[in-house]
Chains A and B, each alone.
Chain A
């Protein structure tokens, strides 16, 4: 971006807002908003501590298992829905309902079903992520050039080969977009699950910090999570851009 002919470096706005935060924090208007600098120092302080590392491990594991499960189940279900009108009619209303539903309200039910442990967090994570993955995989399959499917049939592909060699790849741009959106939702899912259970992972830390008004700790943890979710989304959209060329070449 250029202002008055001067090239403004990237991230300038971030620095600007950071400076504002620092100033407001230094004024000590409220204990809820400590200066950014002290939060950053706190961040460096808490990251190597044992409670943080074990919480990060627990959260990371629940996140990976939940998201992985959502992808492994969601992509094939979406592909099958895109291929079969019958299954599509059967499943689509449910997918749409769960996509819009306030899943947070379901977590207490999950706690009763699966206990106050990691299982509930994993399932919450998967539930947050899976629906958009299903919908996008379905959309991807629906936009496959019909002749590509005919080509696979003419040259003798069985249904499994068609799935593995054509559908997944042809729908890859949409599948990746769905995974990116699903992963962002999964970050919310894993934290919400842990917060509601409040004895697992980052949820326990958040509970600890906020109930003791350790605002610097709380902000430090929040910023770490914000950064993590943002970085994850960026990595996935970079991956998406790598396959974008053939989404555009579909109507060749």
Chain B
């Protein structure tokens, strides 16, 4: 089965795309002895969306937070554009599973918060924020508060906040898991367009196989106990046709099925 699922890195990709984020032999042991990551090495190609896919407990969110600089690795290192990560930096932005919006602040202030922290003037940062608010389709909601928005709209706020700071790397921690299924699908379609337009490196944590196959250029399949990269899969789906056609596309369905079989073997 593993042979069947051998890494499908196409040759030109392997050579042409430089690495934006490099994870080098990273281990993470939490106080109390819980081993979240064990000697993990992984490259994230520039300008692509890489999904970290795996069951809960495989350390994918831990890895994302280490890349973000939110927690230090126990050993090993993470390089972003060749520099070792020691703390959060302006080269990385984060989209949170629970949105992490300030409930006391308007959509405009939430979106421009990253720029506000950098000390940018109000007018300048709001002009920039406005551009991304309209890009995610929230025009007209600038003065609303998060509790006045639906879950999907709240995550659009979280997404445009991440875009506003113009970071090279966008780290997304199960960003669509707290929104309903219809909104989720729309989000996935918008995300594909965003990856095409923004030329940023996206690292996307998910536990949904369908989601990973639909949005990702490559999928790092992580497995727990001990946490490791089981394989790297490049779906290579032709995404030019319409979204519904892609979801019925035979190669899309085949890859979903293969990943599921491979995961099931580990889970059972």
Contacts and interface: CB of A to CB of B under 8 A. Distances in A.
A172 interface: yes
B72 interface: no
A245 B146 CA distance: 11
B100 interface: yes
B117 A154 contact: no
Contacts of B68: 150, 154
Interface in B91-124: 92-94, 96-104, 113-114, 116-118
A166 B117 contact: no
Contacts of B69: 153-154
B88 A243 contact: no
A54 interface: no
B165 interface: yes
A156 B69 CA distance: 11
A129 to B, nearest CB: 25
B90 interface: yes
A250 interface: yes
B100 A151 contact: yes
A107 B101 CA distance: 46
A250 B100 CA distance: 9
A155 B104 contact: no
B98 A161 contact: no
A149 to B, nearest CB: 9
B70 interface: yes
A245 B70 CA distance: 29
A243 B94 CA distance: 27
> Counting chain B CB atoms within 10 Å of each CB, which of A157, A245, A252 scores highest?
A252
A252 B98 contact: yes
A157 B154 CA distance: 21
Contact of A147 (B96, B104, B117): B96
B147 interface: yes
Given A154-B70, A156-B117, A172-B104, A147 B98 contact: yes
| Band of interface residues on B | 20 to 34
B103 A155 contact: no
Contacts, number: 71
Interface string B58-96: 000000010011100000000000000000111011101
Contact of B147 (A169, A172, A246): A246
A154 B94 CA distance: 7
Nearest to B104: A169
A243 B104 contact: yes
A148 B104 contact: no
A145 B104 CA distance: 13
Contacts of B90: 156
A249 interface: yes
A151, A155, A161 — most chain B CB neighbours (10 Å): A155
Given A154-B88, A172-B104, A252-B154, A145 B98 contact: yes
Contact of B117 (A155, A172, A243): A155
Given A154-B93, A155-B165, A245 B117 contact: no
Contacts of B65: 150
A165 B115 CA distance: 13
B114 A169 contact: no
Interface string A134-166: 000000000001011011111111000100011
B188 to A, nearest CB: 22
Contacts of A152: 117
Among A148, A154, A165, A169, max chain B CB count under 10 A is at A154
Interface of B: 65, 68-70, 88-90, 92-94, 96-104, 113-114, 116-118, 146-147, 154, 161, 165
- Which 7 residue pairs are nearest across A and B when measured between Cβ atoms? A246-B103, A151-B100, A147-B100, A155-B114, A154-B94, A249-B147, A154-B88
Given A154-B92, A169-B104, 14 more contacts: A147-B97, A147-B98, A148-B100, A150-B100, A151-B96, A152-B117, A155-B161, A156-B89, A156-B117, A169-B102, A170-B102, A246-B104, A250-B103, A252-B101
7 contacts: A148-B100, A154-B69, A154-B88, A155-B165, A156-B90, A165-B113, A249-B103
Interface of A: 145, 147-148, 150-157, 161, 165-166, 169-170, 172, 243, 245-246, 249-250, 252
